[in-house]
Amino acid sequence: MSVEEEYYINLHVGGKFVRDPYVRYLSGAMVRLKEGPDTISYFELCKIVKDELGFNTVQLIYFHVPGSRTLQDNLRVV
């Protein structure tokens, strides 16, 4: 018997990163997507941000590496 795992992506939009003294994300909105991290593409994320969240442009998408405790430990641009 296999156990099917569920994956979620927490997509934060409309806010900004600040360092005081640790890196954190302020304001904006958070959308939780039931998607596998290995199956969603950069272009699908851009489409969600534009079409479903109403933003006209996407500047940068960052990825927080699982297993790291804070944003400054493993925050990477997609």
Q: What is the pLDDT of residues 21-75, one digit of tens each?
A: 888 888 888 888 887 767 788 888 888 888 888 888 887 787 777 777 777 777 7
> Which pair of structure tokens corresponds to residue 42?
């950069």
Domain boundaries, the chain: 9-73
Confidence of residue 3 (pLDDT cuts 50, 70, 90): low
Q: Please report the pLDDT score of residue 37 as a whole number.
A: 67
Q: Please report the pLDDT score of residue 64 as a whole number.
A: 76
pLDDT at 14 over 50: yes
